Every structure is written in structure tokens, then in C-alpha cells.
Amino acid sequence: MAQRTPLYDVHVKAGARIVEFAGWEMPVQYTGILDEHEAVRRRAGLFDVSHMGEVVFRGPKALESLQRLFTNDLSKCADGQAMYGCLCRDTGGIVDDVVVYRRSATDLLVCVNAANRQKDFDWLHGHAAGADVQNESDAWAQLALQGPAAAAVVQKLTAVRLTSVGTYRFTTGEVAGVPCIVARTGYTGEDGFELFCPPGRAPALWGSLLEAGAAERVVPAGLGARDSLRLEMAYRLYGSDMDDETTPLEAGLGWVVKLDKGGFVGREALARQKEAGVPRKLVGFTLTDPGIPRHGYRVLRDGQPVGLVTSGTRSPSLEIAVGLAYVPAPLAAEGSTFAVEIRGRAAAARVVKTPFYSKPKPASPGAAP
């Protein structure tokens, strides 16, 4: 039976279309994916991401223990800072991509993907050395207010000075009277905040955020818009764009693999792969023929299958078809061409630089409207 977040009844009452995702009954949309996507890009949208999991490392060896399990370098992560990276197997395959919130060297919160809650906890607990590792997933609800208006809306409800909370930084404080971890993080490519709060207080906080954002026309947003927003930024989705059989180097996440930080699980395999050369790479592409690429579609070169599409959609912001796909390394250069097989038809595609979407630059003073 699918699980429900503390906000399930709120979503149903608001008329959301509910679907099963990663074992959870979640809102995929309210008024429509395109409307909600545009709201986040132009104003702000409010997401329920309470299905995400939280694993906490505590004790004198918490930092040392997690450092050995994380590809990025937590010694460079200050208290009050969040850091993105991967957990890897000895083979270099990705257990999950996670965000670590460092409250102190003896208290670190790991935010894991919803589908991997138990798997990640079992893996982290089994590999931890000397740290107290607890699965606190059921102790937290998580709301994400994302978009250009997000900071102004949250500021109405809190005494926390949000200008002092930089990107990938966090603090604690009350928002609308609810105790929260207030983190300037998110997965949409927009400014915004993720608010971790007690599950029983989540419905009240959700209502307060929408009420405070009424003047800015903040809307509730579902998983459909969250997916199209993250794909426009070429952000990876675990289970689609990467899994236990892919490495961070293949997935284009080499920037979160710090081979020089010292030993960590998977380091030797990743070092060998980097030295030998990555055989395949995840690339961004656009279609130059009509069609929409989808997960699992075959990538063709000279009529022969050479890879697979992992994510694809028609970009609401750009109004073109975009996608991510694994291709042989020689095909990964920007400008390379291949085809995507769409219902038996080969649709021409071109490798492009990512992210696909970038925010428009403000007009220069005196420029023509």
C-alpha cells in the first residue's frame, strides 16, 4: 500500500490529481503542469516534498564516518552549509545522490531520495564507523517554496533574516510559528527555500505560505512541474538518469567527486575509470525533428542502437524537445548528432550545452522595451 505525506488530505481538498510515485500517493498537478511550471519560473510555487528521507549522523565520529561514504569533501562544508554529492558502492555505482546539511561536525543530516529511504539508511548504517546513525524520515515533513518571489513570501512569516542565508546555506527558526530548518536549497533552478518541520505542523505551514503568497500569486505545484523544472536545468533524477550501474563520472557529476580528499567508498573504482577514460557519458540534447523523447527510448547512430534516453520532455520555458541520454564518449561532444527512436521513427537530435534553460538577463537601463 502506498504511503501518504502529512499533506495528503490538503492536496485532495485542493483538487490535486494524485498518482503513485516511489511508493507514495503524491500530487502530480493541481491546475496543470504548464501553469505550475510557469508560476515557479515567474513567481513561486509550493511543493510537498515530505516523501524525501532524512538520515542523521551524530557523535564525535559523525563527520569522519560520513566523509568516508560521501564523494564530495565535507571538510570544506561549514556548519550551516549544505553540500550535494553521491553515495557510491565499491564498484563506483551510485547508491543515491543526496544533500548533506552540516549542523556541526557531530550532527549531520542527509536528505535522501524518496524511493531510496530504506535502502540508503541500510547502506549508511551498515557502512558507518563509530557514528550513531538514525533514520529520522518519519520525524520530518518538507515543504519547498521555489521561485523569484519565494524569499519575499517566507520573509513575511519569519524573524529570520533571509538575506543572511545564502544559497546552499541553512539556519533554524520559526516560520508562521512553526519550528523549521530553513534551507536555501531546491531542485528547480530558481531561488527558494526548503522548510523541514514537524509532520503535524505541516498543514498549517502549507496554508500560511499560500496565504502569505496570495499577493504574489503563489500556487501549489505538483511533481509534474517539479520534473519539468529540474529537467530544464539538466538536474539528474535518481532511478532515471543514474542508478547502481552508473558512476558519477558517467552521469556528468565528476564535480562532486573529490578523489584527492582521501579514502571513501568507491574511490578506487572511480580513480581507475577516470584514468582509463569514461566509456559513456550522460549528455543533454535537443530534437531537430518533431517528437518528444521519453525515458527508455533508444539512441541510434547510423541506424544502430548506441545508448538510451534517460529523461525527456517538451520544455515549457523553451518550447522545444529536450532530453538526457547516455551515449558513447566519442558522441558526447557538443554539436554531435544522433537519432532518437520514437515509435519506430528516427528523430534527429543534437548534443547541446546544459543547462537547457537559463534565466533571462535583466534589460539594460534605457533599453527599448
Largest alpha-carbon pair distance within the chain? Answer: 63
The domain segmentation of the chain, as residue ranges, is 3-49+140-231, 53-135, 279-358
Q: What is the mean pLDDT of residues 140-166?
A: 98
Decide if pLDDT at 369 tops 60: no
Let me know the angle formed at the C-alpha of 247 by 28 and 124, rounded to the nearest 5 degrees.
75
Q: Which cell numbers hold the place of 234?
A: 539538466
Decide if pLDDT at 365 tops 70: no
CATH code for residues 53-135: 3.30.70.1400
Residue 362: its pLDDT value, please? 60
Decide if pLDDT at 366 tops 90: no
Contact call for residues 43 and 149 (beta carbons, < 8 A): yes
Q: What is the DSSP letter of 120?
A: H
Residue 363: its pLDDT value, please? 52
What is the side-by-side strand order in the sheet with 53-58? Answer: 81-88, 94-104, 107-112, 53-58, 132-135
Architecture of domain 3-49+140-231: 2-Layer Sandwich (3.30)
Q: What is the mean pLDDT of residues 330-334?
A: 98
Residue 305: its pLDDT value, please? 98
The whole-chain average pLDDT of the chain stands at 96
Decide if pLDDT at 364 tops 60: no
In this structure, the number of other CB atoms found within 10 A of the CB of residue 148 comes to: 16
Sign of CA dihedral 120, 123, 127, 128: positive
CATH code for residues 279-358: 2.40.30.110
pLDDT in tens, 262-309: 999 999 999 999 999 999 999 999 999 999 999 999 999 999 999 999
Decide if pLDDT at 91 tops 50: yes
Domain 53-135 in the same topology as domain 3-49+140-231: no
pTM over 0.85? The answer is yes
Please state, for a pLDDT cut of 70, what percent of the chain lies above it.
98
Kindly indicate the confidence band of residue 360, based on its pLDDT and cuts at 50, 70 and 90.
confident
pLDDT in tens, 31-58: 999 999 999 999 999 999 999 999 999 9
- Residue 94, classed as helix, strand or coil, is strand
Query: At residue 127, what is the residue type?
Result: H
Decide if pLDDT at 206 tops 90: yes
Give the C-alpha separation, 6 to 148, whole Å: 26
In this structure, the number of other CB atoms found within 10 A of the CB of residue 19 comes to: 15
Query: At residue 62, what is the residue type?
Result: A
Q: What is the mean pLDDT of residues 207-214?
A: 98
